[in-house]
A and B are shown apart, each in its own frame.
Chain A
Amino acid sequence: MLSRLIVISANSLKGCGPLGAGLVHASRSLHTSPQSLAPLPPLPETGGKVRHGIFPEELFQLLYPKTGVTGPYMLGTGLLVYMLSKEIYVINHETFAAASIGAVIIYGVKKFGPSVASLADKINEEKMAKAQEVKDLAISSLTEAIEDEKKEQCRNNVAMLLETNYRERLHMVTNEVKRRLDYQIALQNLHHRLEQEHMVNWVEKSVIGSITPQQEKESIAKCITDLKALAKATQARAAV
């Protein structure tokens, strides 16, 4: 039964001193739970519950179903009376010494217990608060960095939109100006061509108008004589 107690309490004794490491390995050999050394299981926040300072609450819970609330007290009294009456425990001077040191311990714990415990708790709280502060600072600085990055991205997008818009409008402006200038050039060309045609027409008309009918007849007669002469020459060449 004692070995069972040791095995059960091995889990809770893990933290205490050099026995702890040995107990971890010893309890591992029983394959009761998938125990691993990392990540470490969390330490209990407070010690086990005790009644009257020494007796663990588990004893009272153990005996409650069979013997009710007064069970453990009857057990304690019975044991004590048995040991005294059978002289298993003999009352001697050590008993008085034990009573005296017991009184000193109880007085010390009752008087200085809460203040010492609050001191230890305060130190632990400070340690935790410092670590928490570091963590919070890290988290807040990282969140700020994320926000800054987002703003940077926004700004980039907006800048790009503005740039694109500007370029579009510039393009439109250029096109419009070009169209206006092209129109002017076409207009000038047209003007030039019209003038030229008009001049040519006018010259032709004036030339044709200056030809009199007498001149026409003379030119036609000359043409006929020329033709005859040419025919004669060709005939002569053909006969040769």
Chain B
Amino acid sequence: MTLSLFDQFMSPTLLGIPLLALALTLPWVLMFKPGPRWAVNRLSTLQALFIKWFTKEIFQPMSLGGHKWAVLLTALVLFLITLNMLGLLPYTFTPTTQLSMNMAFAVPLWLATVIIGMRNQPNHSLAHLLPEGTPNLLIPILIMIETISLFIRPVALGVRLTANLTAGHLLIQLIATAAYVLFPIMPTVALLTSILLFLLTLLEVAVAMIQAYVFVLLLSLYLQENV
């Protein structure tokens, strides 16, 4: 089965049956649910530890109104981290490389924060459009710039995640192809390329975790501004 470089980004199907739903629900199966047990198990302890740490990190600086978002954002970060890390395995499809999915996460959540801000404290959220202490001449321009920056946030969120993951996956594929092609011809260069590939994979693991964290962190910051 020959693979082109972009086959990994195509929505997976098997005999015409789309497997996207399976790919999207795989992280759900991998998480432990608390259940009726005290859950004294290494994996569940680590998972609980992570969830506790994350929720504390994100929601400590937030006022009480934003704590309603705790379950949503923690679930989102678990989902994104799992999807990203699973995508690093060979022959897997990473749903977070699809712009459609990332925009589907970014736009509604960002819009929710904006609407919450506009409804509960309209003056305060409109005042965000103008930083303090600007000279009077710059006010109109600055307001336009701030509005543009406000509206570009969801695009930035979605595209950041998509681009990072897609670029990482593509790089892995390219360097792996280079190593593969060079292997019978110049083994030494292939070895160097393999070392590069190893380091890149390490980077990709870090990027996978960081990007998911950044996505949710920025959303929480937008929420903090507006709640």
Q: Cβ of B3 and Cβ of A92 under 8 Å apart?
A: yes
Is the contact region of chain A dominated by helix, strand, or loop, or is it mixed?
Answer: helix
Q: Cβ of B176 and Cβ of A16 under 8 Å apart?
A: no
Interface flags for B194-214 (1: CB within 8 Å of A; 0: not) read: 100110111001000000000
Q: How far is the CB of B85 from chain A (nearest CB, A)?
A: 10
Q: Cβ of B198 and Cβ of A104 under 8 Å apart?
A: yes
A168 contacts the other chain (Cβ, under 8 Å)? Answer: no
Q: Cβ of A104 and Cβ of B37 under 8 Å apart?
A: no
Q: Which residues on B sit within 8 Å (CB–CB) of A104?
A: 198, 201-202, 205
Q: Cβ of A121 and Cβ of B42 under 8 Å apart?
A: yes
Q: A96-B180, A103-B198 are known contacts. Are A43 and B41 too (CB-CB below 8 A)?
A: yes
Q: A92-B2, A93-B173, A97-B176 are known contacts. Are A17 and B90 too (CB-CB below 8 A)?
A: no
Distance in angstroms between the alpha carbons of A128 and B60 in the assembled complex: 28
Which residue of chain A lies nearest to B38 when distances are taken between CB atoms in the complex? A127
Q: A16-B29, A90-B1, A103-B198 are known contacts. Are A97 and B40 too (CB-CB below 8 A)?
A: no
A143 contacts the other chain (Cβ, under 8 Å)? Answer: no
A124 contacts the other chain (Cβ, under 8 Å)? Answer: yes
Distance in angstroms between the alpha carbons of A133 and B172 in the assembled complex: 52
Q: Cβ of A15 and Cβ of B32 under 8 Å apart?
A: yes
Q: Cβ of A18 and Cβ of B28 under 8 Å apart?
A: yes
Q: Which of A16, A19, A40 has the most CB of B within 10 A?
A: A16
Distance in angstroms between the alpha carbons of A40 and B35 in the assembled complex: 11
Task: Name the one of A16, A91, A123 contacting B49, with C-beta atoms under 8 angstroms.
Answer: A123
Q: A92-B2, A94-B90, A120-B45 are known contacts. Are A100 and B29 too (CB-CB below 8 A)?
A: no
8 Å CB contacts to B: which residues of A142-166?
A: none
Q: How far is the CB of B194 from chain A (nearest CB, A)?
A: 7
Q: Which residues on B sit within 8 Å (CB–CB) of A95?
A: 90, 176, 180
Q: Cβ of A43 and Cβ of B40 under 8 Å apart?
A: yes
Number of interface residues, chain B, beta carbon within 8 A: 37
A26 contacts the other chain (Cβ, under 8 Å)? Answer: no
B17 contacts the other chain (Cβ, under 8 Å)? Answer: no
Task: Name the one of A17, A96, A98, A101 contacting B31, with C-beta atoms under 8 angstroms.
Answer: A17
Q: Cβ of B45 and Cβ of A123 under 8 Å apart?
A: yes
Q: Which residues on A sit within 8 Å (CB–CB) of B131?
A: none
Q: Cβ of A17 and Cβ of B91 under 8 Å apart?
A: no
Q: Which residues on A sit within 8 Å (CB–CB) of B91?
A: 94, 98
Distance in angstroms between the alpha carbons of A190 and B40 in the assembled complex: 100
Q: Cβ of B49 and Cβ of A40 under 8 Å apart?
A: no
Q: Cβ of A124 and Cβ of B45 under 8 Å apart?
A: yes
Task: Name the one of A15, A92, A96, A99 contacting B41, with C-beta atoms under 8 angstroms.
Answer: A15
Q: Cβ of B1 and Cβ of A116 under 8 Å apart?
A: no
Q: Which residues on A sit within 8 Å (CB–CB) of B49?
A: 120, 123
B15 contacts the other chain (Cβ, under 8 Å)? Answer: no
Distance in angstroms between the alpha carbons of A11 and B143 in the assembled complex: 62
Q: A15-B32, A123-B45 are known contacts. Are A96 and B197 too (CB-CB below 8 A)?
A: yes
A117 contacts the other chain (Cβ, under 8 Å)? Answer: yes
Interface flags for B86-124 (1: CB within 8 Å of A; 0: not) read: 001111000000000000000000000000000000000
Q: Cβ of A17 and Cβ of B33 under 8 Å apart?
A: yes
Q: Which residues on B sit within 8 Å (CB–CB) of A19?
A: 29
Which residue of chain A lies nearest to B3 when distances are taken between CB atoms in the complex? A92
Give B residues with C-beta under 8 Å from A.
1-3, 28-33, 35-38, 40-43, 45-46, 49, 88-91, 172-173, 176-177, 179-180, 194, 197-198, 200-202, 205
Give A residues with C-beta under 8 Å from B.
15-20, 40, 43, 47, 90-101, 103-104, 116-117, 119-121, 123-124, 127-128
**Can you list 10 pairs linking A and B with CB atoms under 8 Å apart?**
A15-B35, A15-B37, A18-B28, A19-B29, A94-B3, A94-B91, A97-B201, A101-B88, A116-B46, A119-B46
Known contacts A15-B35, A96-B197, A104-B198; can you find 9 more A-B pairs with CB under 8 A? Answer: A15-B37, A93-B173, A93-B177, A96-B194, A97-B176, A101-B90, A104-B205, A120-B45, A123-B49
